[in-house]
Structure 1
Amino acid sequence: MTSNFIHWTDQELLDDLNSPVVIAAFEGWNDAGEAASSALRYFQERFSAEKIGSIESEEFFDFTISRPVIQIPDDKREILWPATEIYATKMFDSKHDLVIVVGHEPQLRWRTFTDQIVEIASIIDSHMVITLGSLLTDIPHSRPVKVFGSSDDSALAKKLNLNPSTYEGPTGIVGVVNNVMREKGIPSLSLWAGVPSYVSGANSPKAALALVERLAEVLQIGIACTDLEIASAAYERQINELVAEDLDTAEYVNQLEEDFDKSSEVDEQSSNPELLVSEVEAFLRNQTGQT
């Protein structure tokens, strides 16, 4: 399958990738608090991932909804279009290089768009695709963010001791990508973080931090998170101040905190990240024939 919609810009780096893992996140419906896209962009920046390509935006976006933006850097007028960009980085302390796919959730031609993600994974011979997502839920901002893993591939879910996906209802592009990966036989899993529903309009660096930390654990790589840690602490302080100003909200948050503290239903991967780490690494090692 050769696409007319993927534009590769760095063939040399593309050809030099070693056993790459694809990580993808999309702004939009599966990106509450912009936590998933922020986490992946943080990865891209921290590891100085270089742009190696992009997916043509003209076919997949309604520009009356996702409008282009005019900028004038250095007195030169530019138009920035909604984009899905592809980055790559060599990970010299890891067995697996990284390919990062990040952009906006498309408005049009989702099947064709998802085919582009499949082609990216196929061209680079990726042995796993990891998608990131974040969702609004009834959790307190003052407690640790739970990150849970799932897979649409029941066989992979069993191998990695993940929860098989049981969700039924409307879905975003992340759900479609994961389903198509299963149909194409490409191993994939998702990592999801919760964002408090009562602050749905605010970006959540706390959830982004949780995703970054869990993804780093799964990939067995180190990453400095000082900037996100500072932003996360400031986020929590600001919400504390806002909650304190409204009695009803304060009571609601107190109830959420009590429910959270009493709950014994902790996702196995959330309570034991080392288990998921070791099982993902064993799976990738088996896929690449390493011992």
Structure 2
Amino acid sequence: MIRLFIGHSDAMDSPQNADERSIVVWDGSPQLKNPLLLVAFEGWFDAGECATGALDWIRRRSEARRVCHIDPEEFYDFQESRPHIEIAPDGERLVRWPAVECHVAPAAPPHDLVLLSGIEPRMRWRTFCEGVVEIASELGCQMVVTLGAMVAGVAHSRAASVKGSAASTDLAKRLGLDRPTYQGPTGIIGTLHDVLDRAALPVVSLRVGVPHYVAGPPNPKGTRALLSHVETVTGVPTGYQDLDSSVDAWEQRVNEAVERDPEIVAYIRQLEAEADRSESENLPSGDDLAQEFQKFLAEQRQAGEPDGAGGD
């Protein structure tokens, strides 16, 4: 006997009903306090698994519970992202499908966190992004913060560089963030920003640079940097300091690996010198950004925009 892990509705077995059912399968609708939606996807924009690792870290450290998932049937090629067979403690076989799950993490004031993560979908991105809009709207999320990681010419021995941006001119100016300048092929995060902007849902991007010569997962230094900036922006404690020992161990392993190659050592010294010469800040000062962020959300609430089911 095989038991499906994801609780699909009966309509899932009828292909003709695919366009009639909601792609978001809800477990419940919780009462939340000024919620923020954090989003990360495995794939192109998750070098070293830093972004999804940050959300996993928050989820594991909190009493997070799943509130919904996005039905995978319409968005994945199961020959590419294959479901896994697992054996449950009771001996039954489980089919674990590729999943994009949404968890709620009750946090310290001023915000509860809504965590959405999973494998980057393969197909129907616009429809998928409309499902994310449904989740944000249903839960009353005041803002969406996407997390990402990309390979870059940075040294593993220097502070991980995190950059923040917002496609909305007004929002970028208000929070002192950059506007995106990249042009070219994009991933699900770029598509999601466009859909959220069109839906008038405020969205910002935080992304960390990962050394291209050591881009494989896990990369606790990149994860720590993202968690630190999430705490800076939202004011919600993330416990990123508890990753310090993992970061030290990771740096030691990289040092031992690269010291055998004089050319790589010389290249890293060059990257270190460039980082040391740079005096620019990746984000506005923590106090200034956090203060402006909270002022912006307070004004959104006062203007009658979604403020979460729990309100103030």
- What is the SS of the residue equivalent to 1:29? coil
* TM-score, normalization by structure 2: 0.87
Question: Which of 75, 80, 84 is residue 96 of structure 2 equivalent to?
Answer: 80
Correspondence 1:46 to 2:64:
no
Per the TM alignment, residue 226 of structure 1 is displaced from its structure 2 partner at its CA by: 5.1
Question: What are the equivalent positions in structure 2 for 1:11-30 lying under 5 Å apart?
Answer: 11=29, 13=30, 16-30=31-45
**Partner Cα distance (1:205, 1:90) in 2:** 24
Equivalent residue, structure 1, for 2:255? 240
Equivalent residue, structure 1, for 2:151? 136
- The structure-2 alpha-carbon separation of the partners of 1:200 and 1:95, relative to structure 1 and needing over 3 Å to count, comes to closer
Equivalent residue, structure 1, for 2:6? none
**Partner Cα distance (1:202, 1:244) in 2:** 20
Question: Which of 53, 64, 67 is residue 79 of structure 2 equivalent to?
Answer: 64
Per the TM alignment, residue 89 of structure 1 is displaced from its structure 2 partner at its CA by: 2.6
Q: State, as a whole percentage, how many aligned pairs show the same letter.
A: 38
Contact 1:130 1:190 in 2 (8 A): yes
CA-to-aligned-CA distance 1:193-218 (integer Å, 9 cap, x gap) = 11000112232110001111110121
Q: Over aligned residues, Cα RMSD in angstroms?
A: 1.7
Equivalent residue, structure 1, for 2:13? none
**Partner Cα distance (1:280, 1:43) in 2:** 20
Q: How many residues align?
A: 284
Question: Which of 72, 90, 107 is residue 106 of structure 2 equivalent to?
Answer: 90
- The structure-2 alpha-carbon separation of the partners of 1:197 and 1:113, relative to structure 1 and needing over 3 Å to count, comes to same
Correspondence 1:5 to 2:23:
yes
Per the TM alignment, residue 171 of structure 1 is displaced from its structure 2 partner at its CA by: 1.0
One-letter amino acid of the structure 2 residue matched with residue 131 of structure 1: T
**Partner Cα distance (1:152, 1:230) in 2:** 36
* TM-score, normalization by structure 1: 0.93
| Structure 2 unaligned regions, length at least 5 | 1-19, 304-311
**Partner Cα distance (1:207, 1:3) in 2:** 38
Question: What are the equivalent positions in structure 2 for 1:40-189 lying under 5 Å apart?
Answer: 40-74=55-89, 75-91=91-107, 93-189=108-204
Moved more, 272-281 or 49-58: 272-281
Contact 1:84 1:103 in 2 (8 A): yes
Per the TM alignment, residue 222 of structure 1 is displaced from its structure 2 partner at its CA by: 2.1
Larger radius of gyration: 2
Equivalent residue, structure 2, for 1:281? 294
One-letter amino acid of the structure 1 residue matched with residue 92 of structure 2: K
Per the TM alignment, residue 227 of structure 1 is displaced from its structure 2 partner at its CA by: 4.5
Equivalent residue, structure 2, for 1:194? 209
